[in-house]
A = this chain, B = another copy of it.
């Protein structure tokens, strides 16, 4: 066990995966010599050589397109898109190619590929370093979508993603890289180094895709969250002084519907929270599923607390970010209803 930041945990996942399986290759913009702008791949090139960890031209399309070809060859590419905001040029390769290769070739060709990208805001990155595009992946059949909320999960889920025989989108909440940010931007953040929960096994372990984690048990209301919002949910719960059950979804697709259903049937109330824009965000899917499965148990409408339907602003970051105050208000509101 070693106390790791999320960056260190991700680096460690790469390391043990490359150690274990020489088919694992790692590349992306600034990923090789420098080790990534967030340093998630630092040291790998030195350790495993330039043909297993290398820099690329600045072409997200080229990164994913070549990775699809490599995966079809039999390698296991783990590539980085420098910020999730920059996945768009690669979308055709992701949605039309990686996601459908197994199906359209009736299993002749497969695409075991991991596409990592730092996601979310909270770092004053403005509209092109803050986006949360998860819903653009969950709508695409053939992809799996994962978002960890802490170092331990990050490593175990990333290793599971690398083992997975299909393409996995791995979204890393960049605001959590160094410490568990709960949305109180005016308070200092303590590093993961000071959190017990960030004791990470230095060896090889996986956390299965498709299994949610109950962050805290509760009986009044269920909060569905992932990534940074898991921590915001904890803060909001305290602030609202409510006995909430917080579920960290961890994998958005496949979704752990059973855990969700069980919880909402128990609490009878549900709030969904994410940073992405509201309309057609992943929260909509969660609402649709929950109302379908738990209709007769719901005592209040399911509320969505999300980013606004606008570009992510720079100076007004904290007016945009769905922080604990907004969430606490929604919790109390949902509790009061009916």
B310 with A301: CB separation less than 8 A: no
A86 to chain B, nearest CB (A): 8
Of the candidates B88, B103, B295, B310, the one whose C-beta lies within 8 Å of that of A95 is B88
A303: B residues at CB distance < 8 A: 292
Q: Name A92's contact: one of B89, B104, B142, B284 (CB within 8 Å).
A: B89
Within 8 A of B (CB), among A279-294: 279-285, 287-288, 291-293
Q: How far is the CB of A134 from chain B (nearest CB, A)?
A: 9
Judge whether A85 is part of the interface by a CB distance below 8 angstroms.
yes
A115 shortest CB reach to chain B, Å: 15
Q: Are A139 and B135 in contact (CB under 8 A)?
A: yes
CB contact list, A254-300 vs B, under 8 A = 276-277, 279-285, 287-288, 291-293, 295, 298, 300
Residue of B85, B95, B100, B284 touching A280 (CB-CB under 8 A): B284
Say whether A100 contacts B88, CB under 8 Å: no
Q: Mark A18-39, 1 if CB is under 8 A from B, else 0.
A: 0000000000000000000000
Residues from chain B with Cβ under 8 Å of A284 in the complex: 280, 284-285, 287-288
**Is A152 at the interface (CB under 8 A from chain B)?**
no
A317 CB, min distance to chain B CBs, angstroms: 15
- Residues from chain B with Cβ under 8 Å of A277 in the complex: 139-141
Q: Does A304 contact B (CB under 8 A)?
A: yes
**Residue A46 at the chain B interface, CB threshold 8 Å:** no
Does residue A91 face the partner (Cβ distance < 8 Å to B)?
yes
Determine the distance from Cα of A311 to Cα of B142 in the docked complex, in whole angstroms: 8
Kindly list chain B residues whose C-beta atoms are within 8 Å of the C-beta of A96: 85, 88, 128
Let me know if A71 is at the binding interface, CB within 8 A.
Answer: no
Which residue on B lies nearest to A301, using beta carbons?
B295
The reply to whether B136 and A136 contact each other, CB–CB distance below 8 Å, is yes
Contact residue among B128, B281, B301, B311 (Cβ-Cβ distance under 8 Å from A291) = B301
Contact B285 A138 (CB under 8 A): no
* A279 to B310 Cα, complex, angstroms: 23
- B-chain residues with CB within 8 Å of residue A285 when the two chains form the complex: 279-280, 284
**Contact present for B139 and A280 (CB under 8 Å):** yes
Q: Give 6 CB contacts A-B under 8 Å.
A: A103-B310, A135-B280, A141-B277, A288-B288, A288-B302, A292-B301
**Residues in chain A within 8 A of chain B (CB atoms):** 85, 88-89, 91-92, 95-96, 100, 103-104, 127-128, 135-136, 138-142, 253, 276-277, 279-285, 287-288, 291-293, 295, 298, 300-304, 308-311
> When A and B form their complex, which 9 residue pairs have the shortest distance between CB atoms, in order from nearest?
A88-B92, A287-B288, A139-B280, A295-B301, A284-B284, A284-B288, A284-B285, A291-B291, A138-B280
